[in-house]
């Protein structure tokens, strides 16, 4: 295997660079991610570095999985032992190993955004602060900001009255987290940094272990991440970072592209390597993107150069719809035409937007056209009530101190433990300085002998019963395979009966639970902790599916690092992109520009820029003006699509009338269609349980189950050769041999 084949000379230089700090700075599509992957292969295969001495940090879990698969394919060996994952996943792993240095145990849980908000609320309440004056979200983001800048609760700077309040909430919030044996996302990073910072012996141990550290998307690291990298990188300084300052788009999460400058200052011996050749896009796409980004100040200009064999490519299409309904309709029509003309397959297309809320009209338009699509976003599945309930049960089994999960399920399904009983439980726990979960377990164990028995009044037997259930599950954690434990918990609380209320939605809810159960099977060996951790760290971008037949709908943020032959960027109106919030802040405006730049540079062949002359804002149509970023694209690179608003001419009043009429007509249609359509993209199901099928590689098998998942028919098959497999019907070339 030739690791250096298919790399240009600069890429080769980066892959084979000697030890010490290396910084690869280069524009989009220049092969940074490829270089990082090949460098790992090079270290293992040519330099004899054992995989376990390598730490590679990717921006998403999905990118980590892909990198691992690619490495194992090209090296034809397992890279097990290598640490490969996001900063958060790597930190969680470190924290679980080092509990003797930490204020929580290794079975800590990771609180998601909702959990965090409810804990902030609880902290505000404990401190008798009014949520109206101190909005939980804004207090939370102040705390998160502090954490990302290495500021611990004790060090929170006092200044204004508000700062003092935030400092107190921060303190209380941390106490509550610890009482729940929980950490939030920011804590994963902060505690790891503190662990390394305060304990030279631990630090040295990791420094010795990781002979090579590699980081992708370096421009989106924040201060904690950067500081942590510095601590883990030992005296050898073998830190290899790749990035592009123009693609830094996570400022709101504390990302700071100036880390690139810090890197150069902190490691004067750094080898800087520039990659100049873009392999992804046509020159027209690159010229447009470059014109947009060149308006940003304080950056190093770089020229984006496409592969000569690609030619200039098509101009970028611009379409101005009458309103946002028309915008969505244009996207769907155009996708259908591209497919009909064999210019693209559904899966080649990405439709991008600034905020998640913009997906709704697009989804409706796809539904109305009967076209499958894929929506990227973890929330859709993991945000569902039934999924959160089940996860809360499992989290409680792993960690009975978890107050947030306990509050969620103590009376779900209803078991007679009402508000009053819950309050009594809390008071009893507080009085004894233990967690509510502990009180339950002790009631179960000690029965009437328990000092808590008297205190808890009439509901005590119900509480003790719940404690008995919990104790029973906990006794099984290390004994019972995860899927069985999963079933047992749900059976004992009668969860199926609870969610299946006879309605179609009820059946859907139970199916979702089954979907989660299927995932639990994948964690049979690694167990409950790994399962829960994976769930906690799943991000939007992890839900992008490979080899999809259908167009992908995703935010510009989620599109980072990806590439698609055809890209639509919708909502190119001032106030949408750039976003309203950024209009009077130059730094924010620069970030919005980078976001647009990231979107444009995802495209290999075609770009459609779409906007609407009017938008429905809270039920009213409001005029909107074209995004200022469009003005920066030279006219010769743009072509206006026929049928748009401007192309039609007519006076303003006439346009207005026409617009209103059209959108009303459209909305009526959409409304009617939405009422008729089932809640999933319409596609035909071909396989039924019991059918015999043949697969090109796995030969014959029998269909166990078939269902539509995210717009594709997904079939579970038992193959004689390889056992149970789940395949997507449209991709797997399954042949039916017996109905």
- Min separation Cβ 59 and ligand ATP, Å: 9
Rule CB under 6 A: is residue 7 a binding residue for ligand ATP?
A: yes
Rule CB under 6 A: is residue 561 a binding residue for ligand ATP?
A: yes
Cα–Cα–Cα angle for 35, 41, 46, rounded to 5 degrees = 115
Rule CB under 6 A: is residue 358 a binding residue for ligand ATP?
A: no
DSSP H or E stretch at residue 398 = helix 385-398
Rule CB under 6 A: is residue 306 a binding residue for ligand ATP?
A: no
Our answer to whether residue 574 is catalytic in this structure is no
Q: Which does 34 bind (CB under 5 to 8 A by kind): Mg ion, ligand ATP, none?
A: ligand ATP
DSSP H or E stretch at residue 184 = none
- Rounded CA-CA distance 553/355 in Å is 11
CB closer to ligand ATP out of 540 and 712? 540
Rule CB under 6 A: is residue 69 a binding residue for ligand ATP?
A: no
CB closer to Mg ion out of 121 and 305? 305
- Min separation Cβ 275 and ligand ATP, Å: 7
Task: Give 65's strand partners.
Answer: none
- Min separation Cβ 30 and ligand ATP, Å: 4
- Compose the 15-54 pattern: x for residues touching ligand ATP by CB under 6 A, - for all others: -----------x-xxxxxxx--------------------
Rule CB under 6 A: is residue 557 a binding residue for ligand ATP?
A: no
Cis peptide bond prior to 710, omega within 30° of 0: no
Cis peptide bond prior to 413, omega within 30° of 0: yes
Q: In sequence order, what are the residues at sequence separation of 6 or more whose Cβ sits closer than 8 angstroms to the Cβ of residue 699? A: 719, 720, 721
CB closer to ligand ATP out of 368 and 606? 606
- Min separation Cβ 388 and ligand ATP, Å: 33
Active-site entry in 34, 280, 315, 602: 602
Our answer to whether residue 716 is catalytic in this structure is no
Q: Which does 30 bind (CB under 5 to 8 A by kind): Mg ion, ligand ATP, none?
A: ligand ATP
- Min separation Cβ 632 and ligand ATP, Å: 20
Q: Which does 7 bind (CB under 5 to 8 A by kind): Mg ion, ligand ATP, none?
A: ligand ATP
Task: Label the pairing between strands 239-243 and 212-215.
Answer: parallel
- Closest residue to Mg ion, Cβ-based? 33
- Min separation Cβ 691 and Mg ion, Å: 42
Entry field: residues in the chain: 739
- Rounded CA-CA distance 16/188 in Å is 33
Do 481 and 522 meet the contact criterion of CB atoms below 8 Å apart?
no
Binding positions for Mg ion, rule: CB under 5 A: 32-33, 561
Task: Give 727's strand partners.
Answer: 715
Q: Which does 28 bind (CB under 5 to 8 A by kind): ligand ATP, Mg ion, none?
A: ligand ATP
**Which positions from 252 through 281 interact with ligand ATP, judged by CB under 6 A?**
279-280
Give the closest residue to 605 by CA, choosing from 563, 573, 554: 563
Our answer to whether residue 32 is catalytic in this structure is yes
Task: Give 606's strand partners.
Answer: 566
CA dihedral over 414, 418, 423, 425, signed as positive or negative: negative
- Rounded CA-CA distance 58/24 in Å is 15
- Min separation Cβ 561 and Mg ion, Å: 5
Our answer to whether residue 602 is catalytic in this structure is yes
Do 31 and 7 meet the contact criterion of CB atoms below 8 Å apart?
yes
Our answer to whether residue 265 is catalytic in this structure is no
Active-site entry in 247, 358, 570, 614: 247
Give the closest residue to 572 by CA, choosing from 557, 560, 556: 556
Rule CB under 6 A: is residue 212 a binding residue for ligand ATP?
A: no
CA dihedral over 496, 502, 504, 505, signed as positive or negative: negative
Our answer to whether residue 738 is catalytic in this structure is no
Rule CB under 6 A: is residue 11 a binding residue for ligand ATP?
A: yes
Give the closest residue to 562 by CA, choosing from 572, 552, 570, 577: 552
HSE of 507, CA atoms in CB hemisphere, 13 A: 3
Active-site entry in 98, 112, 216, 533: 216
Q: Which residues in this chain contact ligand ATP in the complex, by CB under 6 A?
A: 6-8, 11, 26, 28-34, 244, 247, 279-280, 561, 563
Catalytic residue list = 32-33, 216-217, 247, 602
């Amino acid at each position: 295997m030739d690791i250096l084949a298919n790399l240009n000379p600069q890429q080769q230089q980066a892959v084979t660079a000697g030890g010490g700090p290396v910084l690869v700075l280069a524009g989009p599509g220049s092969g940074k991610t490829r270089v990082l992957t090949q460098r790992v292969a090079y270290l293992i295969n040519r330099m004899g570095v054992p995989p376990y001495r390598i730490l590679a940090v990717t921006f998403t879990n999905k990118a980590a999985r892909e990198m691992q698969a690619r490495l194992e394919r090209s090296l034809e060996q397992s890279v097990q032992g290598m640490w490969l994952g996001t900063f958060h996943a790597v930190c969680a792993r470190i924290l679980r190993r080092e509990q003797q240095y930490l204020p929580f145990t290794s079975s800590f849980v990771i609180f998601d955004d909702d959990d965090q908000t409810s804990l902030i609320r609880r902290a505000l309440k404990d401190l008798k602060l009014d949520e109206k004056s101190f909005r939980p979200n804004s207090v939370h983001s102040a705390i998160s900001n502090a954490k990302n800048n290495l500021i611990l609760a004790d060090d929170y700077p006092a200044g204004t009255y508000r700062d003092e309040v935030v400092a107190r909430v921060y303190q209380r919030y941390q106490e509550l987290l610890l009482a729940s044996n929980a950490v939030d996302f920011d804590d994963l990073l902060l505690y790891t940094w503190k662990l390394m910072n305060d304990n030279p012996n631990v630090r040295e141990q990791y420094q010795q272990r990781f002979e090579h550290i590699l980081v992708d998307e370096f421009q989106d690291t924040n201060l904690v991440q950067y500081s942590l990298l510095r601590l883990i990188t030992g005296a050898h300084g073998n830190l290899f970072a790749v990035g592009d300052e123009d693609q830094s788009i996570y400022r709101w999460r504390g990302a700071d592209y100036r880390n690139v400058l810090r890197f150069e200052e902190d490691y004067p011996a750094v080898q800087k390597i520039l990659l100049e050749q873009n392999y992804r896009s046509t020159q027209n796409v690159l010229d447009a993107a470059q014109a947009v980004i060149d308006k940003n100040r304080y950056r190093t200009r770089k020229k984006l150069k496409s592969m000569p064999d690609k030619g200039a490519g098509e101009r970028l299409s611009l379409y101005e719809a009458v309103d946002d309904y028309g915008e969505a309709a244009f996207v769907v029509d155009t996708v259908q035409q591209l497919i009909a003309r064999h210019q693209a397959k559904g899966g080649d297309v990405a439709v991008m937007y600034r905020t998640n809320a913009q997906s709704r009209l697009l989804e409706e338009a796809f539904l109305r056209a009967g076209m499958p699509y894929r929506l990227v976003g973890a929330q859709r599945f993991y945000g569902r009530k039934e999924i959160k309930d089940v996860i809360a049960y499992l989290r409680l089994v792993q960690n009975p101190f978890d107050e947030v999960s306990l509050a969620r399920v103590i009376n779900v399904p209803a078991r007679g433990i009402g508000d009053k009983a819950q309050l009594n439980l809390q008071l009893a726990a507080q009085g004894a300085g233990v967690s509510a979960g502990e009180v339950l377990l002790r009631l179960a164990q000690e029965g009437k002998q328990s000092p808590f028995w008297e205190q808890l009044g009439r509901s005590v037997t119900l509480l003790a019963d719940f404690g008995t259930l919990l104790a029973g599950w906990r006794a099984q954690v290390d004994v019972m395979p995860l899927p069985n434990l999963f079933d047992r918990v749900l059976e004992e609380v009668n969860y199926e009966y609870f969610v299946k209320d006879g309605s179609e939605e009820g059946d859907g809810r139970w199916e979702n639970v089954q979907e989660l159960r299927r995932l639990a099977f994948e964690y049979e060996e690694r167990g409950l902790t790994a399962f829960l951790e994976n769930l906690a760290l799943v991000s939007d971008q992890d839900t992008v599916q490979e080899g999809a037949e259908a167009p992908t709908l995703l935010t510009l943020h989620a599109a980072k690092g990806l590439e698609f032959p055809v890209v639509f960027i919708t909502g190119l109106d001032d106030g949408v992109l750039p976003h309203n919030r950024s209009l009077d802040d130059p730094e924010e405006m620069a970030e919005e520009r980078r976001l647009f730049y990231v979107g444009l540079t995802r495209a290999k062949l075609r770009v459609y820029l779409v906007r609407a002359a009017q938008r429905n804002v809270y039920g009213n149509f409001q005029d909107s003006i074209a995004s200022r970023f469009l003005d920066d694209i030279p006219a010769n690179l743009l072509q206006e699509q026929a049928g748009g608003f401007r192309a039609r001419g007519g006076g303003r009043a006439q346009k207005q009338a026409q617009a209103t009429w059209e959108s009303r007509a459209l909305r009526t249609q959409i409304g009617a269609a939405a009422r008729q359509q089932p809640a999933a993209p319409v596609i035909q199901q071909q396989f039924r349980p019991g059918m015999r099928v043949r697969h090109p590689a796995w030969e014959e098998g029998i269909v166990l189950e078939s269902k539509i998942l995210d717009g594709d028919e997904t079939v579970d098959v038992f193959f004689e050769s390889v056992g149970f497999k789940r395949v997507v019907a449209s991709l797997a070339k399954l042949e039916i041999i017996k109905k």
